[in-house]
Amino acid sequence: MARAAVSGRLGARLRWQAATLVERREETASAQTLVFDVPGWAGHLAGQHVDVRLTAEDGYSTQRSYSLASAQDADRLELTVQRVPDGEVSPYLIEGLAVGDRIEIRGPVGGWFVWRPEQREPVLLVAGGSGLVPLMAMIRAREAEGSRAPFRLLYSLREPADRLYAPDLERGSAGLDVTYVYTRSAPQGATRPPGRLAPADLVQWGWPPDFEPTVYVCGPTGFVEAAAVQLVAQGHDPGRIRTERFGPSGG
Ligand SMILES: Cc1cc2nc3c(=O)[nH]c(=O)nc-3n(C[C@H](O)[C@H](O)[C@H](O)COP(=O)(O)OP(=O)(O)OC[C@H]3O[C@@H](n4cnc5c(N)ncnc54)[C@H](O)[C@@H]3O)c2cc1C
């Protein structure tokens, strides 16, 4: 019986499902949030992702992974796609897909890089560029569940125009601290000069290791590896550092 239930859930996750684009929202000049209607969606946890499959009329097919940007919301899913110049899939999702069009998705995928509402410990979120997407889902899930777990977000990005979810993060939430780490140009009046995420940023804006936070790091591969090395060097328990790599070290 239990085995049948598990294999049923697994089967649903492995099956490709039709997803209809119902809305798109511009986040920045090069990133959009796409809202899909997926009838019968079985639910997801903050931090999970889906596989997206596109199939051309001649049968050519390709797939990529995209994190779920929203907390669980009935049959609706939100993905935020950052356009990768010369990319095959991301420019199509942003420019080629029209409201009413259908794609295929499979998931949710991932059981480690997730935040569950029953977690009470402090949480440190470290985002590089579009690596903010699954971390924003955690922030949204925390709010939706009325969780009082203290959250801190360090968000590394090139310049102010690249900020994803700016209105949501500006509105804020009790118990959520947000720090922007600009790598190329900072807004006027910023006290921190532009530069890559440094150990001092993690010390100043993160949690001390003895608070035993769970740390989620997401972004380009090089960013994730550098941040994880710094966190471990500062004494964070490697078993409490969860990472998700989005791809090449650029970005
Ligand atoms: C678990 C997971 C979750 C992801 N979630 C998201 C998400 O929420 N939002 C999002 O926008 N992307 C996300 N990605 C990245 C996404 O899967 C694609 O890799 C990305 O959209 C590029 O695909 P593309 O077809 O446009 O580019 P491709 O045609 O695959 O690549 C074109 C060129 O860009 C380089 N490139 C590929 N990916 C990246 C990248 N991420 N950064 C910089 N250069 C790159 C390639 O090396 C290549 O040179 C996620 C990846 C993973 C593994």
Q: What is the pLDDT of residue 199?
A: 97
Q: How far is CA 86 from CA 4, 91, 221, 224, in A?
A: 44, 8, 19, 23
Q: What is the pLDDT of residue 71?
A: 86
Query: To test the ligand 1 pocket, which listed residue (64, 70, 82) has its Cβ within 8 A of the most ligand atoms?
Result: 64
Q: What is the pLDDT of residue 110?
A: 93
Q: What is the pLDDT of residue 85?
A: 92
Q: Which atom of ligand 1 is nearest to the CA of 133?
A: 8
| Tens-place pLDDT, residues 214-233 | 999 999 999 999 999 999 99
Pocket of ligand 1 (CB under 6 A): 49, 64-67, 80-82, 84, 86-90, 130, 133, 220, 244, 246-248, 250-251
d(CA 219, ligand 1 centre) in Å? 10
pTM, to two decimals = 0.94
Q: Which atom of ligand 1 is nearest to the CA of 62?
A: 25
Q: What is the pLDDT of residue 3?
A: 57
The stretches in the chain having pLDDT less than 50 are: 1, 250-251
